[in-house]
């Protein structure tokens, strides 16, 4: 493969077409302080780029390569492009940036690569460079600003959700759909409208208490991140997380003043914003003396486990960030680690488990959620075909790249339908919204896996569609929240 990769344009060349026919490297503009056209602030590392041996094993698992079959929309192609920028043979023009905007950051390539290429670290370096050196068009810039003025701010999101509730109750959505008026909206706004989940008024006022005592003898002290989208649209997941941890002997602390962890900003290259949020999150949780910081959002957990790396340059924060990251665990990891103490009641049903990319690929957490679900008697857990392929949610990707996201969403739900589940479980609110949107009205119910464990412990049916849960052989623990 190396032989037929394009050679970079020689310095001084006005630019040439490579063998893939769609990149025109311009001669190095040469940023004074960094290699090639990168600046000196954490450019993609040459050694990491050189780890790629161009074998192509990652290609079939890359969603954008699966969609378009284009080399430059594959991990190998994107690594090659970073190399060209590093050599000064390509610049941050629209064409190059497009290949990185379309990357979902799903990290399926990291899982697939036999050479251990750290594409996650490469992308984490590349995206902030793009944001610093590429001028986006006004429409793109404005939409991104809108997204980031809303989603990482739970209070604003809650206000927007009240508006969404009024919209849903007004009957307007049906009217607009029947008149095909929604079709006239720009694709990104259509995506925003279609991803809005059914909003319940009680979710908008639900806030967990600051402390919930362990049931029985305490065996761990934990603090829980409540998330931004999770807090507003999936407060039931947070309540289930807190109840389950407490039922399993954890004293649970929930910092009331916590903000956004910075994951959405980090995944889109908005580094200064992400670092500010990381510092704030560390400072907030440091006030609580806990063994573990529990996360029930895959995207947040993967970023919080990286704080130590993200803040490595900052003398005041590097050590604190590393200590913080060392304590972060997904809720499924914690519950799989703890020998079950609370008796489980049966749930008869077939659950399709979808591995959220930021849990499976980015954090390598695949066994724990399955082990946790396996503690529920009667529940059959089935894997999906093409499980490694992203559902198209990927943080705010389904808002920024709605067409590619919709193609992936449709592919995912075809795989979900093929296993004929009674319900679907996945540990990320973005995946829940995306899969629900594409499953449509006939969707089997979608849940976070911890909601199933919670329902099993409490002896209630997780869903009206499932058969009634038979009485427990042993009394279930009391509700704790
Ligand atoms: S990233 Fe890994 S799997 Fe993909 S081409 Fe490079 S070495 Fe091969
Ligand atoms: S992160 Fe996902 S979309 Fe991006 S190159 Fe890797 S596999 Fe492809």
For residue 171, report the phi and psi dihedrals to the nearest 5 degrees: 85, 0
Q: For strand 328-330 and strand 446-447, is the pairing parallel, antiparallel, or unpaired?
A: unpaired
Residues 267-294: tens digit of each pLDDT: 999 999 999 999 999 999 999 999 999 9
Boundary-marking domain end, from 276, 306, 335: 335
Residues 6+ apart with CB under 8 A from 68: none
CA neighbours within 13 Å on the CB side: how many for 202? 2
Is residue 60 lining ligand 1, measured as CB closer than 6 Å? Answer: no
Rounded CA-CA distance 285/255 in Å is 7
Pocket test for ligand 1, best of 75, 120, 388 (most atoms within 8 A of CB): 75
Residues 274 and 307 in one domain: yes
Residue 468: its pLDDT value, please? 42
Residues 85 and 165 in one domain: no
Of 240, 13, 203, 47, residue with least CA distance to 125 = 47
Whether residue 480 lies inside any domain: the answer is no
Whether residue 476 lies inside any domain: the answer is no
User: Over 216-271, what HEC string results?
Assistant: CCCCEEEEECCCCHHHHHCHHHHHHHHHHHHHCCEEEECCCCCCCCCHHHHHCCCH
**Domain span at residue 159?**
141-203
Whether residue 269 lies inside any domain: the answer is yes
8 Å CB contact between 187 and 193: no
Residues 12-43: tens digit of each pLDDT: 333 444 434 444 444 344 455 889 999 999 99
Q: How far is CA 216 from CA 204, 224, 288, 428, in A?
A: 31, 20, 21, 30
Residues 194 and 236 in one domain: no
pTM: 0.87
Which CATH number goes with the domain that contains 41? Answer: 1.10.1060
Rounded CA-CA distance 246/480 in Å is 7
Residue 467: its pLDDT value, please? 43
Chain centroid to Cα 308, Å, comes to 19
Residue 10: its pLDDT value, please? 35
Ligand 2 mean position, distance from CA 209 (Å): 39
Residues 414 and 439 in one domain: yes
Residues 324 and 269 in one domain: yes
Is residue 78 lining ligand 2, measured as CB closer than 6 Å? Answer: yes
Residue 320: its pLDDT value, please? 98
Which segments in the chain show pLDDT lower than 70?
1-32, 179, 464-481
Whether residue 467 lies inside any domain: the answer is no
Q: Which atom, in ligand 1's list, is nearest to the CA of 112?
A: 3
Whether residue 469 lies inside any domain: the answer is no
Residues 328 and 312 in one domain: yes
Ligand 1 mean position, distance from CA 113 (Å): 5
Residues 422 and 331 in one domain: no
Whether residue 464 lies inside any domain: the answer is no
Which residue in the block uniquely carries the two structure tokens 């449709």?
A: 410
Rounded CA-CA distance 231/297 in Å is 10
Residues 312 and 367 in one domain: no
Residues 196 and 239 in one domain: no
Rounded CA-CA distance 88/279 in Å is 34
8 Å CB contact between 164 and 193: no
Whether residue 471 lies inside any domain: the answer is no
Boundary-marking domain end, from 203, 221, 248: 203
Ligand 1 mean position, distance from CA 359 (Å): 21
Boundary-marking domain end, from 335, 357, 390: 335
Ligand 1 mean position, distance from CA 123 (Å): 14
Which CATH number goes with the domain that contains 290? Answer: 1.20.1050
Q: Which atom, in ligand 2's list, is nearest to the CA of 110?
A: 6
Neighbours of 373 (CB within 10 A): 23
Residues 363 and 383 in one domain: yes
Residues 213 and 252 in one domain: yes
Return the biggest CA–CA distance within the chain.
Answer: 79
Strand boundaries in 106-196, DSSP class E: none
Is residue 76 lining ligand 1, measured as CB closer than 6 Å? Answer: yes
User: Which H or E run includes 381?
Assistant: strand 379-383
Which CATH number goes with the domain that contains 442? Answer: 3.40.50
Kindly state the DSSP code that residue 423 receives in the 8-state scheme. Answer: E
Number of domains comprising the chain? 4
Ligand 2 mean position, distance from CA 42 (Å): 20
Whether residue 177 lies inside any domain: the answer is yes
Rounded CA-CA distance 242/212 in Å is 8
Residues 256 and 233 in one domain: yes
Residue 31: its pLDDT value, please? 58
Is residue 107 lining ligand 2, measured as CB closer than 6 Å? Answer: yes
Return the structure tokens found at 180. Answer: 């095909």
């Amino acid at each position: 493969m190396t032989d037929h990769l394009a050679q970079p344009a020689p310095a001084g060349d006005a630019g040439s077409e490579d063998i893939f026919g769609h990149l025109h490297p311009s001669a190095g503009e040469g940023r004074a302080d960094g290699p090639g056209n990168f600046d000196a602030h954490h450019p993609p590392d040459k050694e990491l780029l050189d780890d790629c041996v161009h074998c192509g094993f990652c290609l079939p698992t890359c969603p954008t390569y699966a969609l378009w079959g284009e080399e430059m929309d594959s991990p190998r192609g994107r690594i090659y492009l970073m190399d060209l920028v590093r050599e000064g043979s390509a610049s941050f023009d629209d064409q190059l940036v497009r290949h990185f905007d379309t990357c979902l950051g799903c990290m399926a390539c990291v899982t697939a690569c036999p050479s251990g290429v750290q594409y996650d670290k490469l992308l984490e370096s590349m995206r902030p460079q793009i944001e610093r050196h590429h001028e986006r068009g006004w429409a793109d810039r404005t939409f991104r600003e809108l997204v980031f003025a809303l989603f990482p701010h739970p209070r604003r999101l809650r206000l927007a959700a009240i508006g969404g509730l009024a919209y849903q109750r007004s009957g307007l959505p049906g009217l607009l759909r029947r008149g095909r008026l929604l079709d006239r909206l720009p694709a990104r706004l259509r995506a925003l409208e279609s991803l809005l989940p059914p909003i319940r008024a009680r979710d908008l006022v639900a806030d967990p208490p600051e402390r919930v005592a362990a049931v029985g003898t305490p065996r761990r002290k934990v603090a829980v991140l409540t998330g931004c989208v999770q807090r507003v649209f999936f407060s039931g997941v947070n309540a289930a997380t807190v109840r389950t941890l407490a039922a399993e002997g954890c004293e649970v602390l929930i910092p009331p003043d916590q903000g956004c962890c910075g994951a959405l900003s980090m995944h889109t290259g908005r580094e200064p914003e992400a670092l500010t949020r990381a510092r704030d999150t560390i400072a907030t949780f440091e006030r609580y003396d806990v063994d573990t910081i529990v996360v029930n959002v895959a995207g947040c957990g993967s970023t919080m486990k990286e704080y130590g790396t993200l803040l490595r340059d900052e003398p005041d924060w590097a050590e604190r960030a590393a200590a913080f990251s060392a304590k972060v665990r997904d809720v499924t990891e914690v519950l799989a680690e703890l020998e079950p103490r609370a008796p489980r009641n049966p749930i008869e049903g077939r659950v399709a488990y979808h591995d959220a990319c930021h849990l499976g690929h980015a954090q390598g957490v695949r066994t724990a959620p399955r082990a946790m679900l396996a503690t529920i008697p009667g529940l059959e857990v089935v894997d999906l075909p093409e499980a490694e392929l992203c559902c198209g949610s990927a943080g705010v990707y389904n808002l920024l790249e709605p067409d590619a996201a919709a193609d992936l969403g449709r592919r995912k739900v075809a795989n979900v339908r093929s296993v004929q589940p009674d319900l679907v479980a996945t540990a990320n609110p973005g995946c829940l919204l995306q899969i629900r949107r594409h499953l449509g009205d006939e969707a089997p119910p979608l849940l976070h896996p911890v909601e199933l464990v919670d329902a099993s412990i409490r002896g209630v049916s997780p869903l009206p569609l499932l058969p009634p849960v038979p009485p427990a052989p042993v009394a279930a623990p009391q509700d704790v929240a």
